[in-house]
Amino acid sequence: MARGRKKYAVIVADDFGSSSSVNLAVAEAHDRGILTAASLMAGGTAFEEAVGIARKRRGLSVGLHVTLCDGRAVLPCSEVPGLADPGGRFGNSPSKAWIKYRRPGLLGQLGREIEAQFDRLEKALEKQGAGPFFNGAQYSLVDAGYAPFLLRYAMLERIKPTGAIEKFPRLKAWSDVLLARPTTHSFPRDEFEAMYCDGLRNRKSWISQFIPPTAQAAE
């Protein structure tokens, strides 16, 4: 950074909604002017309380924390028996979860659980105002944080369509607005997508088998 320019620190809280103590810490830190954003756990035991705290603090940017380990499932354990224990909790180890979730037959359960978490986000978006951004008319840290994820989701959808986001109109509209912003695309779109596909093939990702020949020609 050039000399003389101001430096800024953005403080983001993790695991918002996991417990009342975490929620109170997020609220206090924001009220003191320290915290500007938090990631909300859809399966957190204090999710509703966290949503209420966020509604009273319009300056607090809140985004979804997709949780597949060290937390609770949104769906009943009977619907995701390969992911959660009888009490509805995921395992606590990220490395063990990564190995476990690569097993055949769990892809459908993962998809349903992630979709259920998106559904809770959709319901939260309905209460955030008219849009077009997450917290209303103003572009926020949540939008900036989710834009790269939604950009990659859009590329994966072109490889193997699932229609997951399309099931949630508010979420789809939010995604479309972010993908239309020039700031989301700091690299030429076609070139970046070709590089992304190359990376999927080089890592031998499961989805790479569906990359069409036109994308493979860039190799």
Q: Is residue 103 part of a domain?
A: no
Q: Is residue 45 part of a domain?
A: yes
Could you tell me the residue range of the domain that residue 14 belongs to? Answer: 9-65
pLDDT the model gives residue 217: 43
Q: In what order do the strands lie in the sheet with 12-16?
A: 12-16, 37-41, 61-65
Q: Is residue 140 part of a domain?
A: yes
pLDDT the model gives residue 216: 43
156 neighbors 114 (Cβ within 8 angstroms): no
pLDDT the model gives residue 129: 59
Lowest mean pLDDT among 15-24, 101-110, 133-142, 168-177: 133-142
- Concatenating the DSSP letter of every residue in 67-94 gives -SSSSB-SS-TTT-TTTS-TTSBPPS-H
CA dist., res. 165 & res. 114, Å (int): 11
164 neighbors 115 (Cβ within 8 angstroms): yes
pLDDT band at 219 (very low <50, low <70, confident <90, very high): very low
Instruction: State which of 47, 65, 83 marks the end of a domain.
Output: 65
Residue 13 has pLDDT above 50, yes or no: yes
pLDDT the model gives residue 126: 66
pLDDT band at 176 (very low <50, low <70, confident <90, very high): very high
Classify 154 as helix, strand or coil: helix
Q: Is residue 81 part of a domain?
A: no
Residue 133 has pLDDT above 90, yes or no: no
Q: Is residue 26 part of a domain?
A: yes
Mean pLDDT score, 79-108? 88
pLDDT the model gives residue 215: 42
CA dist., res. 23 & res. 30, Å (int): 11
Which pTM was predicted? 0.61
Q: Is residue 186 part of a domain?
A: yes
Most confident of 36-40, 80-84, 124-128: 80-84
Q: Is residue 97 part of a domain?
A: no
Between residues 57 and 122, which one has the greater pLDDT? 57
Instruction: State which of 39, 65, 91 marks the end of a domain.
Output: 65
Mean pLDDT score, 142-148? 82
Q: Is residue 14 part of a domain?
A: yes
Rounded to whole angstroms, what are the CA distances from 50 to 46, 137, 172, 196? 6, 22, 23, 35
Residue 192 has pLDDT above 50, yes or no: yes
Indicate the number of domains in the chain: 2
Tokens of 64: 């979804």
